[in-house]
Structures are given as C-alpha cells and as structure tokens.
Chain A
Amino acid sequence: MPLKGAAGWALSAPATLAVIGFLLVPIGIVIAGTFMDPRGIFAPYISYFNSGFRTTVLFRTLQIAALTTIISLVFGFMTAYVVSRAPARLRSLLIIAAVFPLLTGVVVRAFAWLIILGRNGILNNTLIALGLTNEPLEMLYTQGAVIVGMVYLFVPLMVLSLVGVLENIPRDVLQASSSLGASPVATFWQVLLPLAVPGLIVGAVLVFTGSFTAYATPQLLGGERQTVLATLLHQRAMVSFDWVGASTIAAIMTVITISVVLVMTNLARRINPMAT
C-alpha cells in the first residue's frame, strides 16, 4: 500500500529533514572541508600526525577512554550484579541512587572533584591531617584526575544499563544451572557472564564513545596539561581560529566514534545467543 507508506514519510519528514539539514549536512561540510586544502588532499591529516603534540593528544584521549571504560565496566558489572539480586525495595532505591547523579549535569559532577582533588582540597587536607603527607599532592591536572572524573561520570550509566542486561537473562536458565549442580561461582562464570557479554559490549561502547568525546571533565580536571581531542578542538577553533585544524580533529573524532559504535554493536549482535 503506497499510500500508507507515504503517510509515514510525511509524518516523519520534519524530523528527518531537521537531522539531515542541521546535523548530517553541517558535519559533512566540516569533514569535506578537510579534503579541500590547497596544500593537498590529505595535507591537514599529514600535518596533524606530523605534530608530536597532536598525536600525543590523540593517544592520550584513547588511553583515557580505554581506562575509563575498563574501570567502569569492572565496577559497574559488580555493582549491577548486586543491584539486580537485591530485594525489590532496596533495588529500586539503588536504581534511584544511580539515576540521580546521571541527571545531575556534567559540569556539576566535574566541579565536585575539583573541590576534592584541589591543592587545598578535601583529600589533601585529610592526608595532611592524618600525617600521610607533609605538603599537598598535585592531584589535579593529572591523567588520574581526569580518569576519576570520567569514571564518576559513566559508572551510573554502566550500572543502569547492566542491571537491565542482567534482568533480561531468564531466571530459570540460572536455576537450571544450579539444579544441574553448578555452584553459584560456576553459574556466574559458565552461564551468567557469557550471556551478559553482548550487553557488556554495548555498555562499553556507550562509555568509550562518551569518554572519548567528553569536554567539561578533562577541561576542568585535566586543564592544558591533559589536553584531549575535545579540548584541543575547542582550543584550535576558539582560541587559535585554526578552522582547518579544528575540522581535522572533528573528522578524526567522528570517524573513530562511528567506527567503534558500528564494529562493536555488530559484534555484540553477532555473538548474542539470545537473538536466535
């Protein structure tokens, strides 16, 4: 029925056109622009990767994102497991407690760590008061500070998405495992974990892309010493007015993000035993 399809197209047209016109086209223009450099088609990329500083920034960003993902995954999974096993009342309380930070803005959450990790921050004051150190430690503007801030940003997201994943695993499959003689530990490794892997991948992608492109947290907790792609992009565009350089960074970020999403979600779908 062509008429019905037409109605569907008509109803979704405003949103479709908005996404194409204000998102796809502008980003397309940015990326296309990097290939129209008078110096040569790949010139902006050659100059990007020729700069030791900029390649360092790229690898630092990847490293921070990878570490954030691994840490969030490990702690998020353990926490989600406990939450999904909790009695109903406690369970919804724990979910609320994870939703709350998620709804609190990224600036507020990064700012909290500024108070904690600063030179005269709570952690330094406590350490000095306990006599563990004589002078304040430089914790701010280190890679560790950025990672702590990022983990803080993404652990709630990981917990919530993994609670969903764990609750989608049919309970009777776990009961079947224990009725066949598998101890709780064996059930965890041989049944629960393999069934959770697709969900773990999806959660990891969420955290990786989020921390790979985050701006406020590295800006506040990392400063110039821990420049990442997002802060470099902003700096190139708004401070140096280096539009080609900024566009190149934007293109690199977009390509890496989209590739990670496509490859990993495909992988998750392929190895998902519950899909068949």
Chain B
Amino acid sequence: MTDRPHPILIIVAALVYVFLMVPLVIVVGAALSDTTYLTFPPQGLSLRWFTNIFEISAFRRTIVTSLQIAFLGTFLALVIGIPAAYALNRYRVELPRWLGTLFVLPILVPEIVFGFALLKSLTVGAGVPIFVALLIGHTLLVLPYVVRVISASLASFDFSIEEAAISLGSAPLKTFFTIVLPNVRAGMIAAFILAFITSLNDVSVSLFLTGPGISTLPIQILAHVEQFFDPTVASVSVLLMFLTVAVMAVVERTLGLTFLAK
C-alpha cells in the first residue's frame, strides 16, 4: 500500500506501546531486587523474593485455591457451555434471540455487583459454603467466554456433516462426540485458556466470596500490597506473567494469536 500512516500517528502509536510495556518491565525489575523495599532499577540481583512467596503460607494456600477454582470453574463452564453453544448454532431458527443474550449477561452486569449478590443470596442467605459459592461465581463469570468462543468456531461448522454421519448410521449422541467436538477442538482450547486466565485474574467476583482460610491469589495480593510494600508481590506478578507467556505460546502454536484479537 502506498498510504502509510502520518508520522505523527506512528509516533503516538509507538508511545502507546511504550506506555503498555514499560510498567511490566518495571515489575520484573522490582521482583529481582535484593532490597526489602520496592525499587527500580533493581539494586543487587536476587531471587529471594521468589522463594519468599512460598514461605508465606497465605500465598501458598491462595495459589492452590485459585488454581482449583480456575480448573474446576472452567471445566464446569465447558460442560454446560458447549451444549448451549451447540444448541444456539444448531437450533438458531427454533430458539429465541434473547437466549444468546442471556449467556452474555455475566460480563454485562457489573462483576462486583454479581459477587455481592452471590454473597447475599448464597453464602449469607442459603448458607452455601464459601468455596462452593466461589466456584459457582467463577463458573458463571467464564461462561460467556466459553459460549462465545465455541459459538464462533461452530459458526463455520457445516452441520450437514453431522447429518451425513447420522445417515450413515451413527447415533446422534455418538455423532456429537465423534464428529462435532473434534471439529471445534481449536475453539475448546481457546475457550479453556481464555476462561482459565479470566478466572485466575478475577478480583471483583472473588472479593466478597472469601472467608476464613479461603481466598484467591489476586485478593491475597491486594491484601499484601496494602500491608507490606516489599518485592514479594512483584515476584508473584512475574510468576503470573510467566504463566501468561506460557499460555500465549500454547495459543500461538495451536491457533495463532490473532485468534484472540477477534
């Protein structure tokens, strides 16, 4: 193309990217500092703050809880979300339009209101254990991502393939598992990753669903930052960034990252 953007626009875009990247670099630098307070550039290189994470029992516990909730919540969301996404595409004509909107609601309503509502009705109102309420909250929180991503990959699926399989004598349920699911595998991977990351990073829903002995990692980080200003949180942040990089590498190899830009 001959129409290159105006130099001023290119400079602005470059500055925006600097703005996006620099804070993350600073966090990494601060995590490597040998000092007991947060500083940048790091003074003396050390990994002691990384080992410190695991010496604080609250971090150990919340990391485990966060991973449990993220895995279970994502799994449950896939279990109820995949059939829903399938139904929305396969029975597009028969099902009402508002049903699709319903599955977007968890990201449409303010997350913090959702968390508060769960606290009020489940934990306080119905005496549901905190862990279960947390799991329910996270399952619903990631459901929209699952339904949307699976729907997107089903949108290009030719349902006459399924009919062909059934006409060849395959039972409908078996056809779903042998024909439909393998064709949306890429979508399932993407949905899993997006949901897992969303759950792991969530603050607003988890905020109200913590209690004695149960909290998630982001909530623990918040609490820690408000009391101590040492590089431990920077180290946890770096660990989370590593996880993000690993996830992005997986996505890149399976789907190509531009998939996430839709």
Contact = CB atoms under 8 A, between A and B. Distances in A.
Contact of B112 (A12, A178, A233): A233
Contacts of A189: none
Contacts of A27: 109, 113-114, 117
A61 B203 CA distance: 18
Interface of A (DSSP majority class): helix
Nearest to B12: A78
Contacts of A101: 20, 24
Interface stretch (B52-60, B139-147, B163-171, B182-190): B139-147
A4 B19 contact: no
Nearest to A7: B91
B interface, size bucket = 35 or more
Interface string A237-273: 1100001001100100110011001000000000000
A92 B143 CA distance: 28
B255 interface: no
A31 to B, nearest CB: 9
Contact of A115 (B27, B197, B204, B257): B27
A237 B116 contact: yes
A111 interface: yes
Contacts of A83: 13
Contacts of B111: 213, 215
Nearest to B126: A26
A19 B116 contact: no
Nearest to A236: B116
A100 B197 CA distance: 12
Contact of A163 (B9, B81, B200, B261): B261
B248 A23 contact: no
Contact of A213 (B112, B117, B125): B112
Given A106-B203, A216-B218, A16 B20 contact: no
Contacts of B63: none
Interface string B97-129: 001001101101111111011111110010000
Interface of B: 1, 3-6, 9-10, 12-13, 16-17, 19-21, 23-24, 26-27, 30, 37-40, 79-81, 83-84, 86-88, 90-91, 94-95, 99, 102-103, 105-106, 108-114, 116-122, 125, 136-137, 139-140, 143, 147, 197, 200-201, 203-204, 207-208, 218, 221-222, 225, 229, 233-234, 237, 240-241, 244-245, 247-248, 252, 257-258, 260-262
Interface of A: 1, 4-5, 7-9, 11-12, 14-16, 18-20, 22-27, 29-30, 33, 75-76, 78-79, 81-83, 85, 92, 94-101, 103-109, 111-116, 118, 120, 122, 152, 155-156, 159-160, 163-164, 174, 178, 184, 187, 209, 212-216, 219-220, 230, 233-234, 237-238, 243, 246-247, 250, 253-254, 257-258, 261
Given A103-B201, A111-B27, 10 more contacts: A11-B83, A14-B83, A23-B106, A23-B117, A30-B121, A95-B258, A103-B197, A160-B260, A160-B261, A237-B116
